[in-house]
Structure 1
Amino acid sequence: MTYQLEGQRAIVTAGASGIGRAIVDAMLDCGMRVAVCDIDATALDSLPSAVFARKIDVSDEAALTGFVGEAMDHLGGLDCLVNNAGIAGPTARIENIDSADWRRTLDIVLTSQFLTVSTAVAALRKSENPSIINISSVAGRVGFALRTPYAAAKWGVIGLTKSLAIELGGDGIRVNAILPGLVAGDRQRRVLESKAQQRNISFSEVEAEAFRYTSIKEYVPPQAIASQVLYLASPLGRYVSGQAISICGDTQMLA
């Protein structure tokens, strides 16, 4: 499949590792020009030299909006914004969650998306192929016990996405959310390990329980998320907007 993305300009938050890195690599393979922010300086150093990269904590409003502006100046505009930044947040019962942890999870997962869109929207209006792709989670569709800050923020991402799709549709800007399930990688392993510790059971028990509620009983490769991003960013996805697209192996519940 040819995505027709040669020369298109993209910003990817948290694009130096995991899902974000898979998205960046796929974009580069399509000939896109990419700007990336991430909090991990070591991971940023591993990016190809063609990538415009900055170390940013997306919970820092001034730093984040400054990066978006600088990136758009470097790229000479913007065609695609991918809001990928996120953290797992605390794993605990609601009465044991610290309010500071709650706020930080929402700041990184949800508020950062508001900030990038509000900063980038004027440039996107000038593009002939504008798209915004927000990374949510299957937890934003089914909920997630002991992970309430994360789930609440990811539900918020879907609400933001659908509202923006309506608001910006007249400008030709399509806005969609992707909802990954159990994605292969260190981050997913750490989440399951934390869950196992919280419940005082083994990792293998938590993992087996997670896949009990998934039709396809294997981890989703990050490249599957990247492929969906390319489709939504390309002219092929011109008439897809306002959608919350699950790539989760048909996950019915998060235990």
Structure 2
Amino acid sequence: MVRNVVITGAGSGLGRVMRERFLAQGDRVHICDVELDLPVRDTARTDKLRGSVCNVGDVAAVEALFDEVAAWMPHVDVLINNVGIAGARAPVEDVSDDEWRQIIEVNLFGAIRCMRRVLPGMKRAGSGSIINVSTSSVATRPVNRSPYNVSKGAIETLTLSVAREAGPFGVRCNVLRPGMMDNPRMHRVLQRVANDSGKPVDEVLRNELQFVSLRTLVPMQSVADMAVYLSSPAAAHVTGQVIAVDAGAEWES
């Protein structure tokens, strides 16, 4: 069965891997991303893939995104809220109100706005799957990352609330919680830590992985595979769950 899938933040990284995974099984996919220089801008208008430039932190932009979605998708079967910005890195007392507002606006309200647009149609159809991408940092709570941790923690609570509200209508809502992924973003983080500490990158990585049970970074494909599973009929009775694909993340230094 061909499904209609919307994925935010799908111009690169995990979002891009997820979009390719859904396309490979024949689904129709509409993606969005905020960066104008990403491939999303030039996505070919085909019968399977379309894209929009969209900042989910902007109300009007989200409305425009779903107007574009509605122009070729009669309804949305799967919504994946993948967008997440890192925000300020500082002790709580040094984070300004504007910095708090920015990350909450994108990470939390962006997901709320997208869900607001798809939930009525899903309820009418009596089916649908919403996946909100969180982070293992909600559990490990790295220091000086309170805005990010709080925004994603709020996403997890929101997910559980929506799962309860929408469940009687046949709509499922789950959290996908990735750990340290093997991607360019993580390698940039490792390089920054190496530069700040004066340690080699491989030593920094070893130090971080001592807090991961499987002692390995997580391939983005593994996370994408879980997204496909959670949206599939095989997970028809899975809702209101926080599913971690984190190789057993225990802590973050």
Q: Structures share a fold, TM > 0.5?
A: yes
The code of the aligned residue for 1:26 comes to R
- Whether contact under 8 Å (1:91, 1:194) holds in the other structure is no
* Equivalent pairs, count: 249
Query: Residue 215 of structure 1 contacts residue 250 of structure 1 at CA under 8 Å; is this kept in 2?
Result: yes
Distance 2:110 2:120 in 1: 17
Distance 2:194 2:61 in 1: 36
Change (3 A) 1:188 1:133: same
Residue pair 2:43, 2:50 contacting (<8 A) in 1 also: no
SS of match in other structure, 1:36: strand
SS in 2 for 1:125: helix
Matched, 1:26 2:24: no
Q: Which residue of 2 aligns with 1:14?
A: 9
User: C-alpha offsets along residues 19-43 of structure 1, whole Å, 9 cap, x if unaligned?
Assistant: 1011100000111001111012323
TM superposition score normalised by structure 1 = 0.91
Provide structure 1 residue ranges, at least 5 long, that are not aligned to the other structure. 1-5
Asked whether the equivalents of residues 78 and 127 of structure 1 are also in contact (C-alpha less than 8 Å), the reply is no
Q: For residues 43-79 of structure 1, give each alpha carbon's deviation from its aligned partner in whole angstroms, at most 9, with x where no partner exists.
A: 3146454322111111111111321232133211110
Identical pairs, percent: 28
Relative distance call for 1:32 and 1:251 in structure 2 (3 A) is same
1:156-175 C-alpha deviation (Å, 9 max, x unpaired)? 11101111100100110000
Mapped contact 1:16–1:47 kept (Cα < 8 A): no
Distance 1:156 1:201 in 2: 35
Letter in 2 for 1:65: E
Listed as ranges, the matches of 1:140-159 within 5 Å are 140-159=138-157
Separation of aligned partners in 1, 2:69 and 2:83: 16
Compared with structure 1, are the counterparts of its residues 46 and 217 closer, same or farther at alpha carbon in structure 2 (3 Å cutoff)? farther
Q: When the two structures are superposed, what TM-score results if normalisation uses the length of structure 2?
A: 0.92
Which range moves more in the overlay, 12-21 or 138-147?
Answer: 138-147
- Look up the match of 2:210: 212
Q: Structure 1 residues 246, 152: closer, same or farther in 2, change over 3 A?
A: same
**Of 40, 51, 58, which aligns to 1:44?**
40
Is contact 2:213-2:247 (8 Å) kept?
A: yes
Per the TM alignment, residue 227 of structure 1 is displaced from its structure 2 partner at its CA by: 0.7
Looking at structure 1, the residues matched to 188 and 95 of structure 2 have their Cα atoms a distance apart, in angstroms, of 18
Report if the CA contact (8 A) 2:41-2:52 is conserved: no
For 2:34, give the aligned amino acid.
I
Relative to structure 1, the CA distance from residue 97 to residue 195 in structure 2 (aligned partners, 3 Å threshold; closer, same or farther) is farther
Match of 1:93 in 2: 91
Q: Write the mapping of 1:166-181 to structure 2, written as runs, cut at 5 A.
A: 166-181=164-179
User: How far did residue 125 of structure 1 move?
Assistant: 1.6
CA 1:28–1:146 in structure 2 vs 1: closer, same or farther (change >3 Å)? same
SS in 2 for 1:126: helix
Worse-matched range after superposition: 46-55 or 101-110: 46-55
Mapping of 1:50-61 within 5 angstroms?
A: 50=46, 51-61=49-59
- In structure 2, the residue matched to 1:117 is 115
Alignment partner of 1:238 is 2:217 = no
Deviation at 1:206, TM superposition (A): 3.5
